């Protein structure tokens, strides 16, 4: 039995849901309200980082969206979502690594500098600090703080822009190697990148 704890707006949860959909798997949904459900003590026992998604497979807990994607691909190999050719596989890993190490942080800054800015910006600095201090992953809180307090022109905002420009350049360059990001077949690279490109469109930042 597969269960997924997720939030509708979470880019990482979207990666897990896309993988489940591509595999044609049935799963039980546990929707989290991301304004506090993820910090509930019961959920923190499953995922001490207090983030989504969390996958449970036959009682076994798997966290981190990229790990979940690869776990599902290894456990349910049809259809395969990693390329067969070693070079294409390497490219797929390069894309997922880029998402994890650079693009996710950039996405948080962009989101909290624009669409999600209002709720935190309306708080006093003391209230905002107290709310952000609740999150187990404090680096995420710092990305949110930079977005809310300093906006897109902050040092973090400028770094976020550079990260997304790098992603868009990689996507453009990959188009000459095949119809998909890592070669001739749809793969986890495409799943990893899609939610972030959609988020740019939603934030009206796609013309950077």
What is the domain partition of the chain in residue ranges? 2-75, 86-202
Contacting residues for 63 by C-beta, under 8 A, at least 6 apart = 46, 47, 49, 51, 53, 54, 55
Residue with tokens 């546990």: 30
Of the candidates 101, 102, 85, the residue with the CA atom closest to the CA atom of residue 177? 85
Chain-centroid distance of CA 162 in Å reads 18
Mean pLDDT is lowest, of 57-61, 66-70, 97-101, 125-129, for 125-129
Choice among 10-19, 57-66, 78-87, 114-123 with the minimum mean pLDDT: 114-123
How do residues 122-180 score in pLDDT, each as one tens digit?
999 999 999 899 989 899 999 999 999 999 988 999 999 999 999 999 999 988 788 99
Phi first, then psi, for residue 23 (nearest 5°) are: -80, -10
CATH architecture label of 2-75:
3-Layer(aba) Sandwich (3.40)
Class at the top of the CATH hierarchy for domain 86-202: mainly alpha
Structure tokens at 47: 């995922």
* Residues contacting 147, CB < 8 A, separation 6+: 108, 109, 110, 111, 112, 113, 114, 116, 117, 154, 156, 157
Q: With 80 as the cut, is the pLDDT of residue 206 above it? A: no
pTM for the full predicted model: 0.94
Distance CA 145, CA 33 (A): 20
């Amino acid at each position: 039995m597969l269960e997924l704890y997720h939030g509708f707006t979470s880019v990482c949860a979207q990666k897990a849901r896309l993988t489940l959909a591509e595999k044609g798997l049935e799963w039980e949904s546990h929707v989290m309200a991301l304004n506090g459900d993820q910090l509930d003590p019961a959920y923190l026992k499953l995922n001490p980082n207090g983030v989504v998604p969390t996958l449970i497979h036959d009682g076994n807990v798997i966290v981190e969206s990229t790990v979940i994607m690869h776990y599902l691909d290894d456990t349910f190999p049809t259809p395969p979502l990693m390329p067969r050719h070693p070079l294409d596989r390497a490219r797929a890993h390069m894309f997922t690594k880029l998402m994890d190490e650079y693009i996710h942080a950039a996405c948080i800054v962009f989101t909290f500098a624009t669409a999600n800015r209002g709720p935190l910006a309306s708080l006093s600095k003391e209230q905002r600090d107290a709310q952000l201090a609740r999150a187990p992953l404090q680096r995420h809180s710092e990305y949110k703080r930079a977005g809310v307090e300093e906006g897109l022109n902050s040092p973090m905002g400028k770094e976020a822009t550079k990260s997304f420009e790098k992603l868009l350049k990689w996507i453009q360059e990959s188009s000459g190697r095949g119809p998909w990001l890592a070669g001739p077949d749809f793969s986890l690279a495409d799943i990893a990148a899609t939610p972030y490109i959609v988020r740019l469109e939603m934030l009206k930042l796609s013309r950077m």
